Structure 1
Amino acid sequence: MVQIFGGGATGGGDPAKKVQLAPFGSRTVSRDSPNHSVFFWCRFLAAERPAPALERASTLSARSGGNHRRRERYDGSNHTPPTARTEASVPVPSMMRPRTTPEWNAFGAATRYAQTHDLSEPAEAAYLEALDEARRDILRRLVRGVIRGDPTGLPSPELVPPVRARIADAIPDVDDVEIPWEVTRAETYGSVAVLPLPPTNKTLLGPIKTTHGFDRHRIGDDSWLVGHTRVDRIDHPVSLLDLLDRAGAFVDDGQAARFRVEVAESVANLALARLADAVLGERLDPSSPVLRRVANGNAAADRPAALERIVTDGHPFHPAGKIRKGMSAADGLAYAPEFTDRIDLRFVAIDSTVARETRSRGRKRLTDRLFETFGGLEEAASDELPPDRPIDRFAVVPVHPWQFHHTILDRYEADRRTGRVVPLSYTHPATPLLNLRTVVPHDTDRLSDDPPHIKLAIDVQTTNVVRTLSPNAVTNGPQVTDALEAIASRESFDHLGFLPETAATCYYQPGGPHTEGHHFDDARHLSGMVRMNPAHHPFVGTDAVAVPAASLIASVPGTDRPLVCDLVSEYTATDGDGPDPRSFFEAYVDVVVPEQLLLLSKYGIALESHLQNAVVVFDEARPVAALIRDFGGVRVLDDRLAPHGLDVSVDPYPNSDIDADGEKDLYGKLYYALFQNHLAELLATLAHECDMDEAAGWDAVAHTARGTFDAIRAAHDVPADRVNRDEAALFEPSMQHKALTAMRLRGKRHEYVTSRVSNPLAREDR
């Protein structure tokens, strides 16, 4: 620790009036110090300027004697993490070495990946540098979630101007404290969130650069903890979780421990993913239009899959958005889309006596669809099935290779011995997509002309949920497909398309329905589904490109520029005046909003059209259609659907969430997914990165939504009072928000925890 006595750094002066530079990430300031500016200047010189990656890594190597796997580790169980220091006790940036067990666990895999792709010298330097920004990024998500989500057990935060006196007034029980100068920069921050954590005698300061629609705060690079005698910069998100635990924010100690691990794993995985971004960027031709550049430059089974591979940062809101609980870092390199375009898709045959098979109208069963898609699969199955049982007595299920080796062989061992479950030797290369469990088969001489997307079960947790495939999804998906296709046939949508889930199968013991327990778990771990590949949808054709909406806010590999900003640059407005983000966004809204509102108001179906589930079709840089995938989160209000006499019905599997409890359930699904998640995040990106007027963007959304409701009323197909209620709910002053951070603090997975956020569509002057 560097100590400055009086006015110099070499000693002397009054020891009672000393200013100490605490290790990087914290500071201790005497209230009696006569010259705080000396402290800040010396802190800047000693700690704020990170050395180049090579110098940092060399310093680490020299300090640790070449042994980077040091014994000091922070696994989230202690309230005070260890701090790295040089031999001369000069503060060292925390990114100099891993600090949590997950960061250490990823160290070897990251080093090998960097070495293979020649990212840095020494090889580990690239990962160590990425760790610092990953910690900051996950911390920003955590602070935003705590401020925005109003978690149970914590007081509500107060947002104050970035003025020293105003911040100090909002901090309880502290009369004289040094407010960090960083949070008082009015040219950088619009406000500061002040959140007391009473039992800890600490107060969280979260500087806010700007606030986007639905109270989506853009948090500053650093957040701070203010105590009675010291101010600490939070240098790891797990450190904040320790304080939240002591403040009573968690439902119990077990959930506190789980969330610490989830956040720590997200930091490590995000840092590792940032290395992949550099590798993907090396393959792109900068002279090509951006969609062609990314689609042709990234190896993948098809163009939409290539575009999906650039989403490396995980869920944009969730502090555990990069968790892959159950997978090691090496598993991530083998199976995650940012690292590989090929995994070996496996197959398992299930005796029909323990299989549940579903399909939509007029479609083939899953087994037949697989035999049709993969040349040689049927012959391989015939050769490997028990000789006393014909092949038509079996159903075949596609299986993720991780699941095949980690779960199937052990969990179904008894069934394997009796020949009721038969793992097959046949494999086929496939590209994994963003959600890890959906894959796209590679084109080989064995593949049919229209291969589907294949959704698999994998016993790995991402965000809040383990990504197996339940009998609920197997049962409901084809039924929702029938309903949506019947509606689409009647309405002839111009811009809204669906990616039908045509067939599914799961292991299923007789005597169901199984809604919990061992039989339910057996069903969800060995299951699979096929749905239409967006590249084959009629809206796409031969010239257009289907782009996962999540890719729009992801950076083009090798740059810091979001994909959507390059699209805006290439987009030419109707009047021919050149790039115009507002005109681009208006065209986008016209494609994704009107027909989804019609589907809700007229038919009582709310799609879960958030960024990951929406695929937007572009003709050059112009949005022309929206395709919605993944029907597991759809809500259906039968009181609205049944009167249309569509000759289809949705009879969901017991304990499914698909049946809407009422109109509010519809609003909570569509209005959150489409407006709060999809459009709000896209518009925030356009405003922050592409200089778009965000208020003008919300004006465009409001104008399109109002016009849609007017058109529905004018058609006289829907009771006017119902349309009025749907419209009023969308334009309420505040809207229900799905508080993901609060959900994890309370240990919730499927049950929502909500808060209220201000609604940018509700401006009185509209």
Structure 2
Amino acid sequence: MHRPSPIENRLAAELAEARPDLVDRYLAELPGARAAVLTRLWRALAHEPLPWVVRRVRGAHSLALRLADGRALHGPPADPFATDAYATAVRLDGVAHDDPARLMTDLGWPHSAGLAAELGHSAASLALSRAGQEAGAGEWPGSDWEWEQRIVDGHPFHPNCRSRPGFSVVEQLAYGPEHRPVVRLETVPVPAGECLLTGDWPDELRDGVRLLIPVHPWQAAHVLKGGGAGPWRTAHPLMSLRTLALPDGPHVKTALSARLTSSVRDISAYSVGAAVTLSSFATDLAARTDGLLHVTRTLGAATADSPDLAAVLRESPEAYAAPGERVLPVAALATTTLPGSASWLAEFTRLALTVGLRLLDLGVALEAHGQNLLVVLSETGAPLRLVYRDLADIRLSPARLARHGITAPALPDRQVTDDETTLRRKLFGSLVAGALAGTAGSGPILATALETAVRGLPASPDLTALLEGPLPAKALTLMRLSPEVPGDQWAALPNPLAGTH
């Protein structure tokens, strides 16, 4: 059925030059990678409020979509929380499609050509990521960056889970965390008077009256075009690719002006300006969780008045793990075997909901997806407490904070809202439809974990909204198909707890 796409052929040719030993494995991984991306796309077609889909007919063993132009799509039932690749093909007006890029091209919706190119890159890069894996997971990693490098497939629900346009095969192998490289960061010297700086900037990143801003080597080559960059230190890339762990602990978040999944990963001036204030506020607020949550502190942030040349220095989550404990991003939980998985998942879900709902009541909605949220495990694997990092996309409610006698810090308007729907979408969409769903891997398993976890949680309007309403999730495909619409757009997923309360 499938003819190799241009992007698949291009990556194969580049791989034959860079790593000929991986070519056969890459080609063997392509069908599974296409199915993984197609499954994510089919989820979006089945559940997002796409204006080009006018009717959905759900059967016991199939799903039919009637399109606005009269055509029809047929495929398997779409569990919105499943992480296994179950959609190996769907049929558009009777024609089978196993390639998500070709399907999007044939749908012909506005902006579908751009998304189709990204889907093709996502499948090809995912095959490359899988081809480079060593056999067997082995022992539990001993460091935070090793946990992050075990996450091979990227975002569990985003069709652009591994889309890295602008990255050659050599660059993916050199910088992609799943390929386990060591990356040499560079620096660009900028007169301190031309920089916005918050927090402390270490002496090793100063040169007289100039600040040395850490730069990712991809950014130095493709965006800054050299620009006076010089070598600095080696580091291990984390699952976000543009954030790296230095050997002595601190993490460096760099600007990376490339579109990865949905977003261009630069660093805005307002996020630099607010970084330390927000970090201090969040650290104080986390103290109200009785030790269940820690927030990694921002040590310093600087920008040379450009989102393309900026960096944030952040505390490592390992600072909150005692001897014998492990701290790992929630996204990495799917890569390892956990003790007593059903009871473990319920216990972890209770911990996550307890913390998330407590902070929401106080007035802070975390974007607690599997990358930002980390869990501290005991020596036996029990979930003990949580660590949160990267505060750039949280939302604060001055009204809720005031009810608890807390004054909201001065922050950019985009981070401040009293709208309850917005606050709940931010938390529930990231934590429940994201981190917990990705860990559970299916709707029935998620429902069981949630049903067990919510017993005994303090009653609140937020908990009621979680139990009784549809579950919000970002409409990631709709957002890519409607770039003219600013901000987030949302899907209302069937609540896995429907009928149990």
Provide the TM-score with structure 1 as the length reference. Answer: 0.62
Match of 1:674 in 2: 431
Residue 220 (structure 1) aligned with residue 86 (structure 2)? yes
SS at match of 1:338: helix
Distance 2:116 2:30 in 1: 17
Q: Choose the corresponding residue for 1:534, options 317, 321, 344.
A: 317
SS at match of 1:593: helix
- What is aligned with 2:292? 495
Tell me, in whole angstroms, the C-alpha distance in 1 between the residues paired with 2:483 and 2:316: 35
User: CA separation of 1:212/1:195 partners in 2, compared to 1, >3 Å: closer, same or farther?
Assistant: closer
Secondary structure of 1:665 counterpart = helix
User: CA-to-partner distance for each residue in 1:157-190, whole Å, 9 max, x for gaps?
Assistant: 21123xxxxxxxxxxxxxxxxxxxxxxxxxxxxx
List per-residue Cα deviations over 1:673-714 (Å, max 9, x = no partner). 111111122122596xxxxx55432211321xxx3324xxxx
> What is the aligned partner in structure 2 of residue 211 from structure 1?
79
Does residue 480 of structure 1 match 2:278?
A: yes
Q: Distance in 2 between matches of 1:480 and 1:153?
A: 40
Shift of 1:644: 4.6
Please name the residue that 2:215 is paired with: 399
Distance change in 2, residues 1:313/1:217 (3 Å): closer
Is residue 11 of structure 2 the alignment partner of residue 127 of structure 1?
no
* 1:613 maps to 2:411: no
- State how far apart, in whole Å, the 1-side matches of 2:105 and 2:67 are: 11
Between the aligned partners of 1:652 and 1:695, the Cα distance in structure 2 is 37
Q: Distance in 2 between matches of 1:266 and 1:318?
A: 10
Partner residue in 2 for 1:430: 235
Matched with 1:581 is 341
Whether contact under 8 Å (2:430, 2:473) holds in the other structure is: no
- 2:480 is the alignment partner of 1:757: no
Offset, 1:746 = 1.6
Q: Distance in 1 between matches of 2:148 and 2:486?
A: 26
- 2:352 pairs with 592, 605, 611, which one? 592
Cα deviation digits, residues 279-322 of structure 1 (max 9, x gap):
3x36x54xxxxxxx1415xxxxxx11001101111111111111
Q: Of 432, 435, 458, which aligns to 1:709? A: 458
Partner residue of 1:270?
Answer: 126
- Cα shift at 1:645: 4.9
Q: Which moved more, 1:124-133 or 1:104-113?
A: 104-113
Using the TM superposition, give the Cα deviation of residue 469 of structure 1 relative to its aligned residue in structure 2, in angstroms.
Answer: 0.9
Following superposition of structure 1 onto structure 2, how do residues 53-64 of structure 1 map, counting pairs within 5 Å? none
Match of 1:336 in 2: 176
Aligned-residue offset at 1:113: 5.7
Change (3 A) 1:441 1:223: same
Question: Within 2, Cα distance between the matches of 1:312 and 1:112?
Answer: 23
Task: State the shift of 1:194 in Å.
Answer: 0.3
Equivalents in 2 of 1:480, 1:645: separation in Å? 18
**In structure 2, what is the Cα distance between the partners aligned to 1:331 and 1:502?**
29
1:155 to 45, 54, 58: 54
Deviates more, 1:748-757 or 1:141-150: 748-757
Alpha-carbon separation, structure 1, partners of 2:485 and 2:239: 20
Which amino acid in structure 2 is aligned with residue 352 of structure 1? A
Distance 1:264 1:658, change over 3 A: same
Equivalent of residue 11 in structure 2, options 81, 106, 119: 106
Check the 8 A contact 2:47/2:80 in 1, yes or no: no
Distance 1:694 1:628 in 2: 22
CA-CA distance at 1:217 after TM superposition: 8.8
In 1, Cα distance between the equivalents of 2:263 and 2:296?
Answer: 23
Aligned counterparts, 1:676-695, within 5 A:
676-684=433-441, 694-695=446-447
For residue 211 of structure 1, give the secondary structure of its aligned residue in structure 2. coil
Q: Give the deviation of 1:145 after TM superposition.
A: 0.9
**Residues 505 and 326 from structure 1, CA distance in 2 versus in 1: closer, same or farther, beyond 3 angstroms?**
same
1:136 maps to 2:27: no
Distance in 2 between residues matched to 1:470 and 1:137, nearest whole Å: 33
- Which residue of 2 is the match for residue 194 of structure 1? 64
Pair 699,645 (structure 1): closer, same or farther in 2 beyond 3 Å: closer
CA contact (8 A) 1:672 1:737 kept: yes
Say if 2:476 is the partner of 1:740. yes
CA deviations over 1:400-450 (Å, ceiling 9, x no partner): 11112222246xx6xxxxxxxxx353421100011111001125xxxxxxx
Aligned residues: 500
Structure 2: distance between partners of 1:583 and 1:334: 39
**Aligned to 2:267, which of 465, 469, 477?**
469
| SS of match in other structure, 2:294 | strand
SS of the aligned residue for 1:427 comes to strand
> What is the Cα deviation at residue 196 of structure 1?
2.4
Q: Deviations over 1:88-123 (max 9, x none)?
A: xxxxxx3xx7x222212211333356534xx5xxxx
> Residue 211 and residue 135 in structure 1: after superposition, are their counterparts in 2 closer, same or farther (change >3 A)?
closer
Q: 1:345 aligns with which of 185, 192, 201?
A: 185
2:328 to 527, 532, 547: 547
- Code of the aligned partner of 1:425: G
Shift of 1:331: 1.1
Give the 3 Å change call, closer, same or farther, for CA 244–212 of structure 1 in structure 2: closer
CA deviations 1:644-675 (Å, max 9, x no partner) are 555x642224xx52112422221010111111
Aligned with 2:107 (options 244, 268, 273): 244
Per the alignment, do residues 222 and 275 of structure 1 end up closer, same or farther by CA in structure 2, a change over 3 Å counting?
Answer: closer
Query: Does the 8 A contact of 1:495 with 1:626 survive in 2?
Result: yes
Structure 1: how far apart are the matches of 2:286 and 2:491? 34
Deviation of 1:754 (Å):
1.7
1:233 & 1:149 partners in 2: Cα distance?
Answer: 22
Q: What residue is the counterpart of 1:524 in the other structure?
A: 307
Give the SS at the match of 1:125. Answer: helix
Structure 1 residues 115, 294: closer, same or farther in 2, change over 3 A?
Answer: farther
Matched residue of 1:156: which SS? strand
Distance between the aligned counterparts of 1:624 and 1:686, measured in 2?
Answer: 25
- Cα 1:139–1:154 change in 2 (3 A) is same
Retained in 1: the 8 A contact 2:296–2:316? yes
Whole-Å Cα distance in 2 between the matches of residues 735 and 492 of structure 1?
25
Cα distance in 2 for partners of 1:217, 1:758 equals 16
Aligned residues of 2:368 and 2:430 also touching (Cα < 8 A): yes
Report sequence identity in percent: 26
Cα separation, 1, equivalents of 2:468 and 2:267: 36
Q: Does 1:321 align with 2:164?
A: no
Is the contact made by 2:363 and 2:398 (CA closer than 8 Å) also made in structure 1? yes
Q: 1:312 pairs with 152, 166, 184, which one? A: 152
How high is the TM-score relative to the length of structure 2? 0.93
Unaligned runs of 5+ residues in structure 1 are: 1-24, 26-93, 162-190, 286-292, 297-302, 360-364, 372-376, 382-390, 414-422, 444-450, 509-522, 555-562, 572-579, 688-692, 711-722
- Displaced runs of 4+ in structure 1, greater than 6 A? none
- The answer to whether the 8 A contact 1:634-1:658 is kept is yes
What SS does the aligned partner of 1:460 have?
Answer: strand
- Pair 1:258-2:114 in alignment: yes
Is 1:698 aligned to residue 450 of structure 2?
Answer: yes
Larger strand fraction of residues: 2
- Equivalent position amino acid for 1:157 in 2: R
Q: Shift of the alpha carbon at 1:336?
A: 0.8
Task: Show CA shifts across 1:703-744 (max 9, x none).
Answer: 1xxx3324xxxxxxxxxxxx4x32332223323331111111
Query: Which letter maps to 1:307?
Result: W
Task: In structure 2, give the amino acid aligned to 1:400.
Answer: H
> Could you say which residue in structure 2 is the equivalent of 1:71?
none
Question: 1:487 Cα shift?
Answer: 2.0
